[in-house]
Structure 1
Amino acid sequence: MDLRSFEAAAWARLMEAAAGPHAGFRYVTLCTVDAAQRPQARIVVLRECDDERRMLTFHTDVRSPKWQEMAANPQVTVLGYCHERRLQLRLAGQVHCYAAGSEIARNTWRALPPHTRQTYNGGPPGEVRATAPLAGESTGPETGESRFGVVILQASSLDAYQLQRNDNQRALFRYAADGVLQASAWINP
């Protein structure tokens, strides 16, 4: 397989994940740095992928620590591994965060199904609760919308690592700010 095909296959897997809830890269790890310069990692759902512009989209609660971390330092890494394909993808780049009131957040919120919208009701992520959540507990859809944020990663690099029985393959791709491929190379696994 040549570099161009290897890169195209990696982005095709991300496109599949954004479109299908059971795809291998649907859940990926978003890595940020907190105020004390400690690395932080958590699973996020890949909601959209633009393979031409090299962008990934996630949703989050704007009260979450990761939102604050990305506001302070928009440089992040996203790591995914598909067991079925034995493929690891690591993307680095800069995020742009769109809070409630922005056109992107408003349009995205309107397209969400009710069960997804209700995940933004309730207290701030990570805070202690006095009681266990009640089934169907809700504080209203307008409250959830005010807590909803869209995160778009503009990838500056993709490190793709294909595990095989023999001859593992790994390549590094570097992108311009508009997503155009600037450089690529095979690298040692």
Structure 2
Amino acid sequence: MSDSEPLELEATRRRLTGKQADTVDKLTGTALRVLAREGFARMTIRMVAAEAGVAAATAYTYFSSKEHLVAEIFWRRLRTAPVTDGDDPDPVAGTIAELRTIALLVADEQELSGAVTHALLGRDPDVRHLRARIGLEIRTRLTRALGPAADPELVEALELVYAGALVRAGMGYESYADIADRIERAALRILRAA
């Protein structure tokens, strides 16, 4: 993530009116159903738009690619996931809870979890923007969970554990539920060593 990239409040390609936000909600909700039914490889923006009752051209004004659409779904899940308040007397427990929450955001949805990994590795500029925002959100959550004296190198090590574990799950080596346990064990080792 580059410090020079501005991170606006809207994750989609432009600011949204209420009606536009409803359209984006409709597209993201429909994408989940299409993804579950068709899989990521077969899903298209046109397919999602048709099922949502939205013109394909309209869908493309919000989402540049199916990767962008899936990244937006993950971003929305992350932004609405419970946050550790940082007041836990045991910052290790709070940090582990935060990592587990993030790791399990898509664990129960096999097609979505694989699609998220694929999408977030994409080169689409809109995906890069969301990837930067997701990374910043995860960093903020980990820093908050660790407390005011959070060591930036420790936060980075935990970010690497999380990212590497999710790529491993996305490649099909382990389920997302199992990978959450692996993240916890690896993070505990790092946190106890710190």
TM-score band, normalised by the shorter chain?
Answer: under 0.3
What TM-score do you get using the length of structure 2 for normalisation? Answer: 0.27
Report which of the two has the higher share of helix: 2
What TM-score do you get using the length of structure 1 for normalisation? Answer: 0.28
